[in-house]
Every structure is written in structure tokens, then in C-alpha cells.
A and B are shown apart, each in its own frame.
Chain A
């Protein structure tokens, strides 16, 4: 399966701490994307990193990509209660469609 896998499946941290989620995939990619899903809602695109990029920032988000290890990480700094959600990585293998991982459920404890 080309599907990415997030690790951990669930993560609970105190508000203000940093949260790190990892994603591994199996084949070469064009780009990797991270999405957030609040309970009962659609997914929201957070950040896209291309295969020739190693790191990307957007506000409190930092994404890294290691194509040699076929892995990516999403770091959320100074977490807030509103960051509570499921986070998914998605990969594009050059055939237009995105393949999503199983997600990490992040809970921020106030």
C-alpha cells in the first residue's frame, strides 16, 4: 500500500507544549501535505512540502521532509486548545490523487 502512516496514533499534551507527529510512506513522492480535521468536519489544508524541500514553516507549524527515510514530521509549537484535532499526512505519487494516512489524534489539555 502507498498509504502513509502517522505516528503516534494519539497524542495528549499540556497547552503550551510542542506537539510532534510523524508520517512515513513507502514510495517516491512529488509532494507531501498535512491536513487538520476537527471532529465532524472536513479537512483543512495546512502545508505542502515538495520532494526537493527539506523544511517548511507556516506560523506555529514546522514541517520537515526526509526523502531518504521516506518520512515527514509536523511540529506544532506553543500548542493551544484550538489545536485539538486529527492530523493527516497525504502523499502525491505523481498520479494526481492524494493518498491519506490514518491520522494522529491530538488532544491539548488546558
Chain B
């Protein structure tokens, strides 16, 4: 059981480029969550998805950020026209059925915008 797989582990983008972060949930998990973490801070919720549906995107910035979890393939967090302030660690987590079982986290993608 491979757990939650995130790639890439590290991503460097120039200002104005697009960043695409991928997350494959744990086998059997149908709930996916994306969080952002700045250095020395806690995790900030971004979006909660189930297959082909966005359930809660209350933590997503209104512009430039989007997320999807298609019927086939990984969940994607997409950041268009990146700015320096987007530099952070982005973590994906999955769970079986909501939060009654706890989350399994991936190792994260560290995005650096130069």
C-alpha cells in the first residue's frame, strides 16, 4: 500500500508561470484534501474534493488557484501565474470517509517561486 503519493517533491517556477501539483490518494480513499503550509506555521485548508466534485473550496484564493479530482487519475492543484507569495509547502491528504478515520498525508510538494 503506497500511501498518498505527491509529485513533484520540489518545484521551482518563475513568476508568471504555472504550477501543477499532483496527488494520488491512498488506495480505497475517496476524499482528498489540499493544505498549504508556510515555514514555521500550521496547515491552512485549501480545498476538499471527492471524485469529480469539489465539496468545499472555502480556503482557495479566488483567483489563479484551481483544483480537480477527475474520475481517472490523480487530483491536481493548479496555480496559474505564480507569485513569490505562493512559495510554500503544499500537502495533500486522503481519507476513507470524511474525518472519522483521520487523514493520511503525502510528503508534500515544496513550491519555490523565483
Chain A residues within CB distance 8 Å of chain B: 3, 30-31, 33, 35, 41-45, 48, 88, 92, 95-103
Contact = CB atoms under 8 A, between A and B. Distances in A.
Interface residues of B, number: 25
Given A42-B108, A43-B91, A33 B102 contact: yes
B56 A95 contact: yes
A22 to B, nearest CB: 15
A96 B95 CA distance: 10
Contact of B31 (A3, A95, A96, A103): A96
Given A42-B91, A43-B43, A88-B42, A96 B98 contact: yes
A50 to B, nearest CB: 8
Contact of A42 (B31, B98, B106): B106
B106 to A, nearest CB: 5
Contact of A44 (B33, B100, B105): B105
Given A96-B48, A96-B55, A43 B42 contact: no
Given A42-B106, A45-B104, A100 B42 contact: yes
Contacts of B44: 100
B74 to A, nearest CB: 16
Given A42-B91, A42-B107, A99 B102 contact: no
Given A30-B99, A30-B100, 7 more contacts: A41-B107, A42-B108, A45-B103, A92-B98, A92-B99, A97-B48, A103-B42
